[in-house]
Amino acid sequence: NAGVTQTPKFRVLKTGQSMTLLCAQDMNHEYMYWYRQDPGMGLRLIHYSVGEGTTAKGEVPDGYNVSRLKKQNFLLGLESAAPSQTSVYFCASSPRLLANTDTQYFGPGTRLTVL
Amino acid sequence: KQEVTQIPAALSVPEGENLVLNCSFTDSAIYNLQWFRQDPGKGLTSLLLIQSSQREQTSGRLNASLDKSSGRSTLYIAASQPGDSATYLCAVKKIKAAGNKLTFGGGTRVLVKP
């Protein structure tokens, strides 16, 4: 049981390049999330999905697109990378119906640098 | 809009001292509050979750309190150890938040010196 995995772990891009970050979970969770973490700012939600084929905007969606073609995968795309998108990106998943102790489960993160 | 603040941003204590970490939030209409731990280069791990109807939650050396009316939570770590060095983040879930979304504080980076 791998939990939440993210690919790649590190990436360096030049301004204007595009890339896709892959998140996969094997816990059969309905909900998935993409966050970015910048120094001193905690985690900010970029986009999220409440089920296969659905996506919704979070707090900071500009410059990013997402897709949830399969329940276990959630992709985050940068069409034209900018230096302001240099950050650590985290994926998370959670079950739809939260029991008292359920929470979001996080991947290890992807460190992205845009030059 | 819910805002979550954690002060101080960084804390350094000698081993054995008790740790007190603070979290404040602006909107008291929360469903629950969680404390997470983040080790360098790693993801987040949930430590404690307090439902809005609860006043505190305990797990081993960790105790978290919640005062919803004043918008505050405190995480106490007793008899700190070097292995407690990490960043601690609190997060709140609003009542009826679509997609079970969380709002995070900026975190407190803790260093426990041997």
pLDDT class for B114, splitting at 50, 70, 90? Answer: very high
Closest partner CB to B104 (pick from A43, A50, A96): A43
Chain B partners within 8 Å of A109 (Cβ): 41-43
B40 and chain A in contact, CB less than 8 A: no
The pLDDT assigned to B94 comes to 83
| Cα–Cα dist A9/A17, whole Å | 18
Beta strands in B1-114 (DSSP E): 4-5, 10-14, 19-25, 30-38, 44-51, 56-59, 62-67, 72-77, 86-94, 102-104, 108-113
The burial of B96, by beta-carbon neighbours within 10 Å (0-12 exposed, 13-18 middle, 19 or more buried), is given as exposed
Chain A partners within 8 Å of B105 (Cβ): 42
pLDDT tens-place string over residues B9-50 = 999 999 999 999 999 999 998 989 999 999 988 899 999 999
pLDDT class for A40, splitting at 50, 70, 90? Answer: confident
Contact call for residues A19 and B70 (beta carbons, < 8 A): no
Average pLDDT, whole number, for chain A? 92
pLDDT tens-place string over residues B38-49 = 998 889 999 999
pLDDT class for A99, splitting at 50, 70, 90? Answer: low
B39 and chain A in contact, CB less than 8 A: no
Rg of the Cα atoms in chain B: 14
Chain B partners within 8 Å of A45 (Cβ): 101-102
pLDDT class for A66, splitting at 50, 70, 90? Answer: very high
Interface of A with B (CB under 8 A): 4, 31, 33, 40-45, 48-50, 56, 58, 90, 92, 94, 96, 98, 100-101, 103-104, 106-109
Number of Cβ atoms within 10 Å of the Cβ of B74: 17
The pLDDT assigned to A82 comes to 96
Q: How far is CA B67 from the centre of its chain?
A: 13
Contact call for residues B66 and B50 (beta carbons, < 8 A): yes
Contact call for residues A17 and A77 (beta carbons, < 8 A): no
pLDDT class for A100, splitting at 50, 70, 90? Answer: low
Cβ distance B89 to A42 less than 8 Å, yes or no, reads yes
Closest partner CB to A40 (pick from B42, B49, B106): B106
The pLDDT assigned to A101 comes to 58
pLDDT class for A103, splitting at 50, 70, 90? Answer: confident
Cβ distance A103 to B34 less than 8 Å, yes or no, reads yes
- Which residue type does A75 have? L
**pLDDT over 70 for what percent of chain A?**
94
Q: Which helix (H) or strand (E) holds A74?
A: strand A73-78
| Cα–Cα dist A55/A71, whole Å | 12
The CA distances from residue A2 to A23, A25, A71, A85, B109, in Å, are 12, 8, 16, 28, 27
The pLDDT assigned to A53 comes to 93
| Cα–Cα dist B112/B83, whole Å | 8
| Residue B90 scores a pLDDT above 80 | yes
